[in-house]
Amino acid sequence: MKPVASFKCLAFLFYFITASLGEAAIVDSVSFGDVGSEGAHRFAGERSEIVKGGVGETARRLLAPATNYWEGGRLAVSIAVDPAKQNYATAKFWGSDATRGMLLFFCDGKQIGYRHLGDIDYLDSSVGEPAFLGRFFYTTTPLPLELTRGETNLTLEIRSYGPVWTYASNFETYQKPMTGPSRGIYKIYSHTDGTFTPPTDERQGDAPKNPPVAKSPGAVVYVARSMPRLPRVSLFTQGVFGAT
């Protein structure tokens, strides 16, 4: 029994050390809806509102434009960073929110992440369904070293947009208008560990108990779409494989 006990002690010690390192790697954080935290980080916003959301915590939602347009509200804060190390920014969201739209990070006015197919993803894209029912989830984005090297603070901004249709052939059909509020944004953290570990004193919510299970397959729905006819090309007649 001694080896088992020793293994459990080592496992607990490893968990404790890694959790502590994760928390120690947090450089700064902003709690949205908290007047003191927002004021200390020079909060500025356009078309945003404070809401009380998951587990009673406050958040900010970015609102749709007054007219039929694709850009919505935005917010910005001044947040501390490490002047020498690689920095990351992590946003905290409530997984039960069911909204439609996209959120993007901007750092000192420069967009961080691609809107479609890139090595650094967008901050959030919601499709009208809960992402993580009853619990918080976190999205982490690396901040470019060119913007943080030698700096102790930078301006971090979140901008909101309507949903997109990635198969479109032009901007008008790709980018849809923003018609409702964004997902609630609860906190932003800056940190130097690429694997973000939330502080142990933060409530995370609870997984649904006894969720319903489908007893049979649902109906199959086919959606007819008109596709342009493509020209038929024979590879052999074009001499691709040496045939003529």
32 domain-assigned: yes
198 domain-assigned: no
Helices (H) and strands (E) in the chain, counts: 4, 12
What is the average pLDDT across 177-205? 96
200 domain-assigned: no
Is residue 12's pLDDT more than 80? no
The terminus-to-terminus CA distance of the chain in angstroms comes to 77
Band the pLDDT of 81: cuts 50, 70, 90.
Answer: very high
pLDDT score at 23: 57
As a whole number of angstroms, the distance between CA 25 and CA 12 comes to 20
120 domain-assigned: yes
208 domain-assigned: no
List the CATH number of the domain containing 85: 2.60.120.260
215 domain-assigned: no
What is the per-residue pLDDT across 89-145, written as a single tens digit (0 to 9) for each? Answer: 999 999 999 999 999 999 988 999 888 778 888 999 999 999 999 999 999 999 999
102 domain-assigned: yes
Domain that holds residue 70: 26-191
CB 98 within 8 A of CB 130: yes
79 domain-assigned: yes
User: Domain tally for the chain?
Assistant: 1
